[in-house]
Copies of this chain bind each other. A is one copy, B any other.
Amino acid sequence: MKEYSEEYLDHIKDIISQNDEATARKELAELHPADIAELYKDLDLDEAEYLYKLLDEETAADVLMELDEDDRLKLIEHMPAAEIAKQIDHLDTDDAVDLIQQLDEDERDEILSHIDDVEQAGDIIDLLKYDEDTAGGLMGTEMIVVNENWSMPECIKQMRLQAEDMDEIYNVYVVGNDDKLKGVLPLKELITHPSVSKIKHVMESDPVSVKADTPIDEVALDFEKYDLVAMPVVDSIGRLLGRITVDDVMDKVREASERDFQLASGISSDVDTDDSVFAQTKARIPWLLIGICSGILASIILGGFENQLHAVTALALFIPIIGGTGGNVGVQASAIVVQSLANGTLELKEFAHQIGKEVLVGLLNATIISLVMFGYNLIFLPGNMAVTLSVAVSLFVVVMFATILGSVVPLTLEKLHINPALATGPFIQISNDIVGLLIYVWVATGFLKIFGG
């Protein structure tokens, strides 16, 4: 959209170096807070701080929330607690909680003590109690709430008061006298039924809501399923606590899918191309070293088989195909399970059914692959029946084993509440490498005995 050019960046850097506050303010006024945050990434810290000080409090608060967590921490590091508190005053409670959660306990308390609006400070303290990965951890308390027995004019009057502090309104929540959520008032009713005597006659009753302790994954699936832009959060007896907005859910969906993709690729912490060489190496070396250990293990397994390898060197030629195929099969099987668990297609209660299905898929794949290799070796490795049979039979067993392991491991992890994506990547690849070799060594030893290797 508002993609800026190298020239624009140079222009901004010039303005800063010339200390031209007036022009800087004018340029900033034309940018959306999200664009200012993007600009910051390409500036040095002192340049960013210079611009930041020129922003009005509300924009400054918005920019702060648009920054990456690391950049945000850098920017507020030198800010006095009173100033951070002022910015928090301009934030929705859910954003305020995100910001405060990054700080350590002492800093939190100091900042909270500086917030003038006691009600907001109280809300933030309440919200901090919820687990980050639940609906409660994602909700904010800014919302418009009306009573089901009010008339529309009464509602509009109340809404006018409540709307003052709010950036945007997407839904109006309707509660009973007991504070329990009764319905949602679509804004179009304001326009189409301006004089109804009781809100409950035009509200949508029984709205989709979540309990505060619902895991975020489930919340996201509900947003997608019911096409929501906001969802009310209730306590265990149905009293309205807050609301979750779709933008926060979208961020979480992207984060979760990125995390799965990274886990599946053997990257152990959240990095992208912006991170330093050192941070990237640190995120990538652990699985590589685990891979080296498994390679050493493979060499030990093959070492026990060295006499046979020496006698029938042709056996060595098929070492790569055994491990490679096992790895590929396992990654496919686990990726399908991980994805289906993530998008709600597969549920844990279908565990046995899923394994049964995978066994059939495995049988089909194993048969095709073994026959192909058997045919190839029959033609191109004539007279070497021990090797030909060893490779074909090993491939069959390896594909079956890898298919089953590829589905059992992520399902088991899900059952243990561990992210199943952990199973999709190097883990499954490495286990299949090792097991594949063991199977090959064992099968080949058998055939060599039969055919007299």
Which residues of chain A have a CB within 8 Å of any CB of chain B?
1, 32, 34, 38, 66, 156, 159-160, 163-164, 166, 168-170, 186-188, 190-192, 208, 210, 218, 222-229, 245-247, 249-251, 253-254, 257-258, 260-262, 264-267, 271-274, 277-278, 280-281, 284-285, 287-289, 291-292, 294-296, 298-299, 302-303, 306, 309-310, 313-314, 316-325, 327-329, 331-332, 334-340, 343, 345-346, 350, 354, 357, 360-361, 364-365, 368-369, 372-373, 376, 399, 424-426, 429-430, 433, 437
Contacts and interface: CB of A to CB of B under 8 A. Distances in A.
Given A227-B247, A321-B299, A328-B429, A336 B271 contact: yes
A226 B34 contact: yes
Copies in the complex: 2
A337 B272 CA distance: 8
Contacts of A281: 361, 364-365
A229 B429 CA distance: 41
A223 B166 CA distance: 20
Contacts of A354: 273
B339 A272 contact: yes
A361 B282 CA distance: 10
B261 A260 contact: yes
B329 A159 contact: no
B314 A313 contact: no
Contacts of A168: 186-188
6 contacts: A34-B227, A66-B225, A163-B191, A261-B264, A289-B369, A298-B321
A315 to B, nearest CB: 8
Given A169-B187, A280-B336, A343-B272, A316 B309 contact: yes
A265 B320 contact: no
Nearest to A346: B273
Contacts of A310: 310, 313
A301 to B, nearest CB: 9
Contacts of A247: 224, 227-229
B323 A191 contact: no
Nearest to A424: B265
B208 A224 contact: no
Contact of A306 (B313, B357, B361, B399): B313
Contact of A224 (B187, B226, B251): B251
B336 A273 contact: yes
**Interface pairs A-B: 5 shortest CB-CB:** A295-B321, A265-B335, A227-B247, A257-B257, A299-B317
Contact of A325 (B262, B295, B364): B295
A215 to B, nearest CB: 12
Contact of A250 (B253, B329, B338): B253
B321 A320 contact: no
A361 B277 contact: yes
- Most chain B CB within a 10 A radius of its CB, from A226, A299, A309, A357: A299
A159 B192 CA distance: 9
B295 A159 contact: no
Contacts of A163: 188, 191-192
Given A160-B191, A335-B267, A360-B277, A32 B343 contact: no
A322 to B, nearest CB: 8
A188 to B, nearest CB: 5
A192 B160 contact: yes
A33 to B, nearest CB: 9
Contact of A320 (B228, B260, B299): B299
Contacts of A284: 329, 332, 361, 365
Contact of A1 (B218, B249, B260, B437): B218
A252 B287 CA distance: 31
A360 B369 CA distance: 40
A194 to B, nearest CB: 8
B430 A324 contact: yes
A296 B313 contact: no
